[in-house]
Structure 1
Amino acid sequence: MNTIYIEAFSGLSGNMFLSAFSELLDDYEQLLDLPKKLHLPDGKIEIQEADKNGITCKYVEVVDLNLEANSESHHDHDHSHSHDHSHDHNHSHSHSHDDHSHEHHHHHAAHRHLSDIQKIIDHAHISDNAKRIAHEIFLMIGKAESKIHNMPLETIHFHEISGVDSIIDIVGNAVLIDKLNLSKVYCTPICTGFGIVKTQHGMLPVPAPATAELLQGMPIYPGNEEGEKITPTGAAILRYLNPDFKSKAYTPIKTAYGPGKKDFHNANVVRISLIENEAEKDTYLQLEASIDDMSPEYLGTDFQDGLLTSGAVDFSITQQLMKKGRFAFLLAVILPTSELKNVSNYLFDSTSTIGVRYYPINRIELPRLQKKKQTALGEIEVKETITPTNTIKIKPEFDDIQRLARENDQSSYQVISKLNNTNLKNS
């Protein structure tokens, strides 16, 4: 699994993500067949060279062939491409500063409902996980639009993102995100731009209302150039990625640039770096306390449940011999650095200790999944991990073992023995 760091100093859009992800994977080819896989023959993907303030990169453009046909039939080339050259705050047909012309969609096709777009995704020849990602991104946009317009989700017409280019844009990102196999995403604060933008709904502030809704809870700033720097599509993809915005040091392995179509004073690119998974090191602490004047019964289940609730990740209690021959218990707790105050306060309140010690530790963790398994004794949740040699380890959750024991009038040992005999890997 991979970890990435997104630098959104010039905003974000679907095309910028597409371009950067493709470069990061060194794979542009799989996008070229995407219109066919989506059964959208009126869409096309073109790969173009771009130069943004001296940064040479490739721009993945999603073309709506309906727009090109409409342009040719009206012999109005300059008008149809005005969004490429006008300033953001004054573009009459572009909802995005670099992506594609959101406003043109209503000229050539009926607006689609969410259910229409979901059917296109469901019938696409892409992986099931890519379909799930695409569904989630569209649902996020739908919920934002529903809230802004105070309309039921089912009746919302997707104006700006119902066109062929937008559908290919979002699904393309879903395909690339699936291939990246991400475990963690970090991001800088997001530059939104500022001013007023003209949309199908009229003149709206930047960021547009739906975009602002999608950015709730994320750190943003307007920057120093007027215009719309982040699109609803860019905001929705970012929200799906659920990034951590905490500033951190990291070691880049590979860096990619995703250019926007327009040119600004600042380089109009997003920079995405693949970083070492070990970037998580030194974010955990081990906290220890030697307890020699307290009965061990007070360190039982209730104390342990409270310790985990306070922020501990794991802990152990071992017996030790202290000075003057005193027996004691060594409580060793693993916790995130951010939980040091909560956990230490809990220990001071819940034990007799008057001092604790702590130090940073590194952890190597296997990727893990929580899965539901159906067994002869009932449903159970298991933790599944995969070793570097692709050996699968499965461990049932003890709480579920106890529950099945009660339900089947058996001991916990009898239940786990039966589950082991039936081979959980194949259940």
Structure 2
Amino acid sequence: MNAIYFDCCSGISGDMCLGALLDAGLPLETLQQELSRLNLSGFELDVRQVRVQGISATDVSVKVNSPQPSRHLHDIILLLESSSLAPDVVQRSKAVFRRLAEAEGAVHGIPAEQVHFHEVGAVDAIVDVVGTVAGLASLGVEQVWVSPLPLASGWVQSAHGLLPLPAPATAHLLQGVPVYGTALRAELVTPTGAAIVSTLADGFGPLPAMTLGQVGYGAGKRSLAHPNLLRVFTGEIIPPAGGMETDTVSVVETQIDDMNPELFGSLWEALFNSGALDVMMNSVQMKKGRPGTKVTVLCHPEKTLAVSQCLLRETTSTGVRWREERRYKASRQVLPVDTPWGAVRVKFSSFKDAAGRNYHKAAPEFEDCRQVARASAVPVKTVYDTAQSAAIQRLQSFPES
């Protein structure tokens, strides 16, 4: 399966996406031809090869050379639907702009349809979004993977005045996306960039196993202490043997018979905050016939010490045991599905048995369902069942053999 990995070491923006795709082999003529399918005039692409702290990269700017009308979401939807772009490109581009409108609307307390697109609705953003979606299709990309995103602090000037970083719309778009903080005081992830990856990504995390094809660098506009680049890797995903993955986990355990039961609730939360992957508490019979609780924690090996210290700190236990175990895992990916109340992440898993038969499962993330249900004042079960139904529909596209 052809895939692309966005290495967002310096963040991501729409023009950086275009630059990285061009640098990775997307012909400029193809990009221009795709953009010409839009009924959009008054702009031109300025594409240059630059060196960013010694690294060759492609810099893309959209030059607007004539006045543009004010646009709302329905104007952009009409623009896309009246174009001669491929249906899939139209649908995915519409999805990106809908997410942008919903994020802006949520921030400003208005319906998405009433959002006046200042920055994001300008010609350059339309070109960035459509160019990225069409570029991925032209490169034959079937899966999009994205690294965790770096976020900075400080302020950014916008049509609404000064806004804190990350911009409120960006923060809304990145809900459910892995991020990490930096000491930089500059906008690293723009709303357009956040909308692109949060809509198009099939998964977030480290570079998946792949046979590497091309590497491309898209240049950012700001001068930073490190190279301001978006790097992309294209290649063919290497499927795990039999669809099964293996890794090592630590199992940390202790038994407790002298602690106030009310404290076990807070222990649960503290363990997950310390890096636990899973926590199990079972009733056991201990010495002298006393009832007790056996606490078993699974974690990545590098979190063993933190989890052990948490157990000693938060309980009456004076010692813990730990060991490492190998495990088989079905191949997993977390993808969003839409419900009438908002997007919910679903964990899809699959594996192949010895006879070559594929098996697939889907499980909505309960915390997502709870948050969506609370925000919309609907039962959690309703959201969960709706997300489960949407996930089952999506499973129909998974290979059966």
TM-score (norm: length of structure 1): 0.56
Q: How does 1:400-415 map to 2 (within 5 A)?
A: none
Alignment match, 2:112: 153
Cα 1:363–1:13 change in 2 (3 A) is farther
Q: Is 1:272 equivalent to 2:232 in the alignment?
A: yes
Alignment match, 2:8: 8
Alignment match, 2:201: 242
Check conservation: 1:8, 1:190, Cα contact below 8 A: yes
Q: Is 1:231 equivalent to 2:231 in the alignment?
A: no
Q: Secondary structure at the match of 2:4?
A: strand
Cα 1:238–1:338 change in 2 (3 A) is closer
Alignment match, 2:126: 167
For the pair shown, the structure with the greater C-alpha radius of gyration is 1
**Quick one: percent identity of the two aligned structures?**
29
Cα 1:381–1:184 change in 2 (3 A) is closer
Alignment match, 1:22: 22
Q: Secondary structure at the match of 1:120?
A: helix
Q: How does 1:52-131 map to 2 (within 5 A)?
A: 52-66=52-66, 108-131=67-90
Which of these residues, 256, 259, 263, is aligned with residue 219 of structure 2?
259
Cα 1:205–1:385 change in 2 (3 A) is closer
Alignment match, 1:137: 96
**2:64 maps to amino acid:** D
Q: How does 1:179-328 map to 2 (within 5 A)?
A: 179-247=138-206, 250-251=209-210, 252-278=212-238, 280-281=240-241, 284=244
Instruction: Calculate the aligned-residue CA RMSD, in Å.
Output: 3.4
How far the C-alpha of 1:262 sits from its partner, in A, is 2.2
Q: Which runs of 5+ in 1 are unaligned?
A: 67-107, 287-333, 340-358, 369-379, 387-393, 396-427
Which of these residues, 322, 327, 330, is aligned with residue 336 of structure 1?
330
Alignment match, 2:47: 47
Check conservation: 2:208, 2:237, Cα contact below 8 A: no
Alignment match, 1:343: none
Q: Secondary structure at the match of 1:111?
A: coil
Check conservation: 1:130, 1:171, Cα contact below 8 A: yes
Cα 1:15–1:281 change in 2 (3 A) is farther
Cα 1:360–1:248 change in 2 (3 A) is farther
In the TM superposition, what whole-angstrom CA distance separates every residue of 1:360-414 from its partner, at most 9, and x where no partner exists?
A: 9999999x9xxxxxxxxxxx9996799xxxxxxx99xxxxxxxxxxxxxxxxxxx
Q: Secondary structure at the match of 1:182?
A: coil
Q: How does 1:349-388 map to 2 (within 5 A)?
A: none
CA distance in 2, matches of 1:117, 1:181: 25
Q: Which runs of 5+ in 2 are unaligned?
A: 247-327, 334-350, 361-392
Cα 1:382–1:5 change in 2 (3 A) is closer
Q: Secondary structure at the match of 2:131?
A: helix
TM-score (norm: length of structure 2): 0.60
Check conservation: 1:9, 1:191, Cα contact below 8 A: yes
**2:235 maps to amino acid:** I
Cα 1:285–1:65 change in 2 (3 A) is closer
Q: Secondary structure at the match of 1:32?
A: helix
How far the C-alpha of 1:234 sits from its partner, in A, is 0.3
Check conservation: 1:285, 1:361, Cα contact below 8 A: no
Q: Secondary structure at the match of 2:20?
A: helix
Alignment match, 2:386: none
CA distance in 2, matches of 1:201, 1:17: 25
CA distance in 2, matches of 1:256, 1:175: 17
Cα 1:125–1:54 change in 2 (3 A) is same
CA distance in 1, matches of 2:239, 2:176: 24
CA distance in 2, matches of 1:283, 1:381: 19
CA distance in 1, matches of 2:356, 2:230: 31
Cα 1:214–1:115 change in 2 (3 A) is same
Check conservation: 1:35, 1:41, Cα contact below 8 A: no
In the TM superposition, what whole-angstrom CA distance separates every residue of 1:130-176 from its partner, at most 9, and x where no partner exists?
A: 11111010011011111111111221111112222221121111211
How far the C-alpha of 1:33 sits from its partner, in A, is 3.7
CA distance in 1, matches of 2:355, 2:237: 11
CA distance in 1, matches of 2:151, 2:356: 37
- Would you say how many aligned residue pairs link Structure 1 and Structure 2? 269
How far the C-alpha of 1:178 sits from its partner, in A, is 2.1
Check conservation: 1:32, 1:46, Cα contact below 8 A: no
Alignment match, 1:307: none
Check conservation: 1:284, 1:361, Cα contact below 8 A: no
How far the C-alpha of 1:180 sits from its partner, in A, is 3.3
Query: Quick check: which one's helix share is greater?
Result: 1
Check conservation: 2:166, 2:187, Cα contact below 8 A: yes
